[in-house]
Structure 1
């Protein structure tokens, strides 16, 4: 894999407040450059949601209502988040969740493409004992030493997913081969058939 052929790509992760549909309480991004995550350029922010964080959500990501008391509301940071995400590919584990939440909060935003590391892992490692992020990190023996934060926080999960993406990408000869396996149907970046192609009668 020639990582120099990759477009600008950000691995993203979001955490919600447990409502349905969820309000954002944390957003994180980390770029991959030359085949490596770049933690120095990572961005992560807590967000004060309009509705309280549920106890169930707190049990998962350990973000409490007290933690976000002084955090900015979404409206005050939405423009900066969109500026960071404009004109890039995004990647996430089970990407339709992150993509759907971000699109609901940023209706004028559309990434250049969406890579789903869950879909990619199922294609690349079909015999893995599981395809959750935890199972794949253990199966691939990816070293998480040095990642700041903890599991189920957006910054940590984005960095871990970036390492997983780089690991899986090594199985593919080209960017096109990778994206063929990694982009869910209907997501940005997925090739569409040429309806103008002539039909042989």
Structure 2
């Protein structure tokens, strides 16, 4: 894989407050450039949700109401997040979730395309018993020594997902091949469905 052919791409992750639909607690966006995570230009934001963080959500990511008290509200950071994301491609693990939540909070945002590393992993490693992020970390053993925070924080999960994406990309010869395997139908960047030549 020639990483110099990649368009602008940000690995994204969001953490929510546990309600349905969720309010956002944390957003991270990590560029991948030349086959490496671009930590020097990553974006990361904590935000105080409109509704309190549930006990279950706080147990998962550690973002308690006390920790988020005093952080800016969504209206205070949404323009900065929108500007940072721009029109770049985004990648996420189980990307439908992150794309849906970000689109709900940024109704005028539209990425050029959406890479789903879960979908890509299923295509790349068809015999794995599980495809969650922990299973892929165990299978691929990426170097996470420089990952910030801890598992289930957005900054950590974007770093881990970026390393997993880079590892899987080496199994594909071109960006277009990776896109064909990784973009879910119906999301931005999905290849058009093949036309049946017998129909007219």
TM over 0.5: yes
**Hey, what's the Cα distance between the residues in 2 that align with 1:143 and 1:5?**
24
CA offset at residue 192 of structure 1? 2.0
Per-residue CA deviation, residues 73-130 of structure 1 (Å, 9 max, x unaligned), is 0001111100111110000000000000000000011100000000000000111231
Which residue of structure 2 lines up, in the alignment, with residue 35 of structure 1? Answer: 35
Give the root-mean-square deviation of aligned CA atoms.
Answer: 1.5
Partner in structure 2 of residue 169 of structure 1: 169
Match of residue 22 from structure 2: 22
Secondary structure, aligned partner of 2:32: strand
- The whole-number CA distance in structure 2 between the counterparts of 1:21 and 1:103 is 12
Matched residue, 1:113: 113
| TM-score, normalised via structure 2 length | 0.96
SS of 1:67's equivalent in the other structure is helix
Gaps of 5+ in 1: none
Q: Which runs of 5+ in 2 are unaligned?
A: none
Q: Conserved in 1, the CA contact under 8 Å of 2:87 and 2:109?
A: no
Task: Give the Å deviation of 1:42.
Answer: 1.2
Q: Deviations over 1:147-166 (max 9, x none)?
A: 12100000000010000000
In 2, Cα distance between the equivalents of 1:31 and 1:135? 23
TM-score of the two chains, using structure 1 as the length reference:
0.96
